[in-house]
Amino acid sequence: MDLTEKQITIPIISFDRNIFKFLEEAVQSHLKSDEVPIRFVITKMDNNEVQCEFAVLSGVEKELSERTNSIFEFNPRKIERTGTFNAVFLVPTGIGAEIGGHAGDATPVARVLAEGCDRLVTHPNVVNASDINEIPDNTLYVEGSAITNLLMGTAALQPVHKNRVLVIIDDHEIEMFANDTVNAVSAARATYGFDCVKVVKLNPPLKMVAEFVKSGRAAGQIYGFDRIRTILEENKGEFDAVALASVVDVDDQYHEDYFHRKGSMINPWGGVEAMLTHAVSMLFAVPTAHSPMLESQKVADFDLGLVEPRLAAEAVSLTFVQCMLKGLHRSPRIITNSQIINEAGLLNVADISCLVIPDKCLGLPTLAALEQGIPVIAVRENGNLMNNNLDTLPWASGQFYHVENYWEAAGVMSAIKSGISPASMRRPLTDTKVEKRQF
């Protein structure tokens, strides 16, 4: 089983029909019988066509494919529960986001947004900072595909006290690197009570290759995923979450360029990591995160000097795993059984009050929010590679807010929570609309 990335161009989307059915048919027409899409993004949309990129898992037998829900499955929410205020905060991986495109540098935003919520739902790319993870206490840390399923109405989240975490790492050819990773796990057990089921060394190691695709997004290829699947199936019922640490192959020059270009280069590791965690979460419905291992002693010995602050957490880390261990320690259970996702105590799409995203980002979460009637706040200051004009989508009145920065996003979110129309705080105040009807 392997993971690769594909690109297609489709005619302009018609929102007069089932948008998710339309996208699924377009994607399926470019797949082989043993391929399953696991991640989808619209990179550019104009008046004539839509450019899409999606990750594909190949070598999937028919039985597994039939029991795995499609990423395009959509269940509209029947109500919005307003007893609590719960926001989703996304910064998609691999798109070169100015804020959140590097080592956990969107954490300050997450902490501020969390102050205005009962629950903030976010993903590893936002708060993972190598040896640092300052995730707020009221935040649910889940992998991006679980958030997509939450917004699509096909999954719910169950907060937990702690998880039993299975750790899978490369059996690195440099024993010291593997030992350092195990020591990081032991440190987590000794300091904050991390519950590690066991550490499994994968031999031969997983093959992960980073690459940049047509749009400029970071993605890649993964070979040998079936070995990960075998380990998870053999240990089924013994773990609640999965931590993965493996080498991501990148050109040596990428390391120096990434740190010396002062944050102008897209992080080459994150995209292929997201492909891996999406596949695990989709097939096994468990919280999953990945951290890269050092490739070689040469890379470990690089003298990076003083680096741009957004990259500093990576520059000072040895194993990069502590952030994901802390996140997975209390990551919520992913509930996909349609008969129980509405049970009390679970957070589902009916509980989501708003979605905060970088401007121009258009994937399944944004489309799901559009269809579910969830307010969306798009932040212009968080520049990125995507090329979509979100204003052109058929938003309901008062559903879409374009803001300049995350300070303003926090204000709009607070207004929504308070039951205040954000426009009522701006001047000039528009005239009241009066319509005269004659019969």
Task: Please report the pLDDT score of residue 263 as a whole number.
Answer: 64
Task: Quote the strand ranges of 257-391, DSSP E.
Answer: 288-293, 333-335, 352-358, 362-363, 376-379
Question: Tokens 């990434």 identify what position?
Answer: 258
Select the more confidently predicted residue: 255 or 246.
246
Contact 163, 334 (CB under 8 A): no
Contact 386, 218 (CB under 8 A): no
Contact 177, 293 (CB under 8 A): yes
DSSP state of 387: B
Instruction: Summarize pLDDT for 187-202 with one digit per residue, the tens.
Output: 999 999 999 999 999 9
Contact 163, 195 (CB under 8 A): yes
Contact 386, 95 (CB under 8 A): yes
Pick from 13-22, 106-115, 337-346, 393-402: least confident: 13-22
Residues 6+ apart with CB under 8 A from 149: 69, 155, 334, 336
Question: Tokens 């590690």 identify what position?
Answer: 196
Select the more confidently predicted residue: 319 or 376.
376
Give whichever of 192-201, 207-216, 257-266, 296-305 has the largest mean pLDDT: 192-201
- What is the share, in percent, of the chain residues with pLDDT greater than 70? 98
Tokens of 200: 């499994």
To the question of pTM greater than 0.85 for the whole model, the response is yes
DSSP for 142-209? --HHHHHHHHHTS-EEE--S--EEEEEEE--SSHHHHHHHHHHHHHHHHHH--EEEEEEEESSPPEEE
Helices marked H in 261-341: 270-284, 297-300, 312-315, 322-329
Nearest C-alpha neighbor of 144 from the set 269, 38, 303, 300: 38
What are the backbone dihedrals phi and psi of residue 365, each rounded to the nearest 5 degrees, phi first? -60, -45
Instruction: Summarize pLDDT for 314-336 with one digit per residue, the tens.
Output: 888 889 999 999 999 999 999 99
Q: Identify the band that residue 64 occupies on the pLDDT scale cut at 50, 70 and 90.
A: confident
Task: Please report the pLDDT score of residue 303 as a whole number.
Answer: 76
Contact 188, 162 (CB under 8 A): no
**Amino acid in the structure at residue 209:** V
d(CA 385, CA 395): 23
What is the residue-averaged pLDDT of the chain?
92
